[in-house]
Structure 1
Amino acid sequence: MPTPTPTDGHLDHPPHPRSPAHPLTPTRRDLLALGSLAGLGALLGGCTTTGSKPTNSRPPSPRLARVAHITDSHTQPERQAFEGTCNMWQHIASLRDQPDLVLHGGDIIFSSFEKTRERSQQQWDLYLQSMRAHNKLPVYHCLGNHDIWGWNKKESQTTGNEQGWGKAWATDLLGMSAPYYAFTARNIRFIILDTVQPRGETFYEGGLGETQFEWLQSELASTPAATPIVILTHIPALHASTLLVDARTNADNNWVTGGGSLLMDRARVVNLISRYPNVSAVLSGHIHMVERIDYAGTSWINSGAVCGAWWQSQAKSREFFAQRREDKTMLDRPDRAMPGYGLLDVYADGSIAWQYVEWGWTPPPDSNT
C-alpha cells in the first residue's frame, strides 16, 4: 500500500497560552531499563492510568520523535467547535518542545454518518480551514465513525451510489491513499488502521475484517525488530473506561457493551500485537476518556478528546446520552476527558513517554444544538 502524503498547513496566528499538562510516565520497557522491580510487578499484572504520575528519570535512549496525538475534534459550526479546534492547533504550535508530526485519530468532524452532503461539506470546510490556518506540522489522519459519509442512508438522504459515498470522500479530502496505510518517519514505523466497519443498514461496529487483519500481520512481520512501531486506531481494541461510561445492564442483569465501543475482533488483534515487542504504543480515541493500559509489554493509550464532552459541559453530555439511550443511569457516569491531546515521545530502544495536555478550553453556555 503506497505511503500517503501528509496534510500540511501554515501558522499565521499567535499561539494560545500554554496550560499545565499531566507529566510524562514510564512504560514497562522504561521500568525494565531503570531496574524498577516494584513498577515492573505492577505492569506485569496490567495497569490502567487515567492521570499521569511524575517520574524522576527519562528513558536512557535517544529520542526519535515527539508525536502529537489529537483525536475526536468533532469540528462543526455550533458550540464554538470551530474556535475550539483553532485553539487546539494554536496550543500545539505554542509548545516549546515541538512535535515532529501530528496523528489525528478520527472523528475529525462532528458527524457525516447520517448527514447530507451539504452539511458534511460545511464541517469539512471548517476543519480544513482551521488546520491550514494554524498548523505547520505534517498531519496523518485516521478515520472515525463520524467521518464516514452516508452509511445511514435514510438520514443522510443518500443511495450509496454518490461519488465519495462512505469512506471515499474523507480519504480524498485528507490525502489518504486508503482508509488504512503505513509509513516510516524518523526511524519509526507508523501503522494507521481502519477500525470502523458497517453493521446493518444504519450503524457500524469496531473491527478490522479479514483483509486488513492479514495486512496488519504482514506489516508487523516485515518491520525490522529494532524499529519501533506506533499503531493508530479510532475505536480501541483494549480499553477499560468504556465499562464505566458506555456499558449497560441487559435483561439478564449482565454488563454489556455495544459493538461500536471496542473492536469486535479485539482478542486476535491484541494477541497479534502482543507478539511483537517493538510495538511501543497503540493510540486510540472514540471513548473520550484519558487512559493508559500497559499490557504484555505494549502501552494501549487513549488520548481523551480535543472536544472533551463534545464541545459542551459534562452535565449536558450526560443528559444527552441518558435521553438517547433511555437510560437514567447515564446521569451517574464519570466525566469524559477535558479538552486536550496526547504527546508521545518515542525513543530509539522502543521505550516511550506520554502525557495528556489539557489546554484550557471552556465550554460555551449549554444549548440544545
Structure 2
Amino acid sequence: MTMIDRRDFLRLAAAGGGAAFLSGLNLPAHAHAGDGDFYFVQLSDTHWGFSGAPNPEASHTLHEAVKAVNALTTQPDFIVFTGDLTHTTDDPAERRRRMAAFRDIAAGLKVKTVHFMPGEHDASLDNGAAFQEFFGPTHYTFDHKGVHFITLDNVSDPGARIGAEQLAWLEKDLAGRDKAAPIVVLTHRPLFDLAPKWDWATRDGEQALALLMPFTNVTVFYGHIHQEHHHQTGHIAHHAAKSLIFPLPAPGSQEKRTPLPWDPAAPYKGLGFREIEAEPKKASYEVTEFPVVRT
C-alpha cells in the first residue's frame, strides 16, 4: 500500500476553555506525547450500502479506509465512528444486512477498541432498534486517560432531537464533575444551528450545550456534513469530520445540499478521516487530516 501523506495539520490548543487554530504546523504526530497522552482516530459517514453517483467506487471506499488506518505507523488507542455507518433503507431486513456487512468490514481494523454511534441513516426509521442489535447503546460514556467521552444520540428521534430523557441522563452524568476536567463529546449531527434547512442542526442542541457550558474544557467531534468544519459556541469548539462516501457543499452555499460531483481525475477527493492526539493535562488536541487513496 502507498504510504499516505499528512496534510491540513491543525493545532487545536485549548487555553482557558478557548481554542486556537494554527495552520501550517509540520510536526509529526505523537512527537511530544507524554505519559498520559494518547491518540484516537475518527471516521464518519461511511454509508455502507450506498451505490451510484456520485461515488462509483462506493463498494470499495470503506475497505480502502480500513487499509489506510491499518497502515498508520503508530496504531491509535481506539477508533470512533461518528454515525451513518450504513445508508438508509426502508427494508428492515436489508438494514440489518448492511449493518452486518459494515460490522464485518470494521472487524478488519487492527485496533479492536472501536466505539460506534448511529447516524440518522442508521437509526431514524426504527428509533435505533437495528443499530442496538448490532452495536449496543446509542448513547453512552467512557473514560480514557483522564478524558471523559460522552456519546450523544441526536438521530434516533426522527425529529432531530436529543430528547428530554437523554438530556436528563446527560445532566446526571455531568453532575459533580470537575468543571476544569477535559470532556470530549461525540455526536452525529452538529449541536448548533449550522444549516437548519439542510438538517444540519439539532432541535434541542442548545439545551445540551447549556449543560456543557459550565465546563471549561469541552470539545465536540461530529460528522453528518461530509466535510471538515470548525466552529465555536462560546468556549466550546466543534469539529466536523469528512465523509468516507462523498463530500457535500459548504454550509448554505447553494439551495440544496446535493453531493459534490465525482472527479475521475481525483478519485476520493474530499473524502478522508482524522487522527486526534490528546494531551489531557493541557486539555489540548492536535488534529491531522488524512485522505483516502486508491490502492
User: What TM-score results when the alignment is normalised by the length of structure 1?
Assistant: 0.66
- Over 3 Å counting, the alpha-carbon distance change for 1:186 and 1:81 in structure 2 is farther
Aligned counterpart for 2:245 among listed residues 292, 307, 310? 307
Give the match for residue 265 of structure 2. Answer: none
- Over 3 Å counting, the alpha-carbon distance change for 1:257 and 1:94 in structure 2 is same
- Cα pair 1:64 1:347 within 8 Å, conserved: yes
- Cα pair 2:41 2:274 within 8 Å, conserved: yes
- Cα pair 2:10 2:288 within 8 Å, conserved: yes
Distance 1:335 1:267 in 2: 34
- Cα pair 1:306 1:341 within 8 Å, conserved: yes
Distance 1:103 1:351 in 2: 18
AA aligned to 1:173 is F
Distance 1:239 1:356 in 2: 24
Runs of 4+ in 1 over 6 A off after TM superposition: 56-61, 331-337
Aligned counterpart for 1:234 among listed residues 149, 165, 188? 188
Query: 1:291 offset after TM fit, Å?
Result: 0.8
Pair 1:342-2:282 in alignment: no
Distance 2:261 2:220 in 1: 23
Query: 1:167 offset after TM fit, Å?
Result: 1.1
Give the match for residue 226 of structure 2. Answer: 288
Give the match for residue 82 of structure 1. Answer: 59
Root-mean-square deviation (CA, aligned residues, Å) is: 3.3
Distance 2:257 2:207 in 1: 34
- Cα pair 2:142 2:148 within 8 Å, conserved: yes
Give the match for residue 277 of structure 1. Answer: 216
Structure 1: any 5+ residue segments left out of the alignment?
1-14, 34-39, 152-164, 199-203, 243-255, 319-327, 363-369
CA displacement, residues 200-223 of structure 1 (integer Å, 9 cap, x when unaligned)? xxxx23221111111111212243
CA displacement, residues 153-197 of structure 1 (integer Å, 9 cap, x when unaligned)? xxxxxxxxxxxx5312211211x2x22111112332111111025
- Over 3 Å counting, the alpha-carbon distance change for 1:135 and 1:147 in structure 2 is farther
* SS of the residue 1:98 aligns to: coil
Structure 2: any 5+ residue segments left out of the alignment?
263-268
Aligned counterpart for 1:353 among listed residues 273, 286, 290? 286
Quick check: which one's strand share is greater?
A: 2
Give the match for residue 151 of structure 2. Answer: 192
Aligned counterpart for 2:40 among listed residues 54, 67, 81? 67
Give the match for residue 213 of structure 1. Answer: 167
- Cα pair 2:230 2:237 within 8 Å, conserved: yes
- Over 3 Å counting, the alpha-carbon distance change for 1:264 and 1:56 in structure 2 is same
Q: 1:34-113 maps to which residues of 2 (within 5 A)?
A: 53-55=23-25, 64-76=37-49, 78=51, 79-112=56-89
Query: 1:56 offset after TM fit, Å?
Result: 6.8
- Over 3 Å counting, the alpha-carbon distance change for 1:87 and 1:56 in structure 2 is closer
Aligned counterpart for 2:6 among listed residues 14, 17, 20? 20
AA aligned to 2:12 is P
- Cα pair 1:62 1:348 within 8 Å, conserved: no
Query: 1:148 offset after TM fit, Å?
Result: 1.9
AA aligned to 2:70 is A
- Cα pair 2:245 2:271 within 8 Å, conserved: yes
- Over 3 Å counting, the alpha-carbon distance change for 1:221 and 1:278 in structure 2 is farther
Distance 2:42 2:261 in 1: 21
Give the match for residue 262 of structure 1. Answer: 201
AA aligned to 2:62 is T
Distance 1:76 1:187 in 2: 37
* SS of the residue 1:68 aligns to: strand
Give the match for residue 139 of structure 2. Answer: 180
- Cα pair 1:66 1:99 within 8 Å, conserved: yes
Pair 1:124-2:99 in alignment: yes
Query: 1:359 offset after TM fit, Å?
Result: 2.1
Distance 1:228 1:193 in 2: 17
Quick check: which one's helix share is greater?
A: 1
- Over 3 Å counting, the alpha-carbon distance change for 1:289 and 1:77 in structure 2 is closer
- Over 3 Å counting, the alpha-carbon distance change for 1:273 and 1:123 in structure 2 is same
- Over 3 Å counting, the alpha-carbon distance change for 1:197 and 1:124 in structure 2 is closer
* SS of the residue 2:277 aligns to: strand
Distance 2:259 2:139 in 1: 33
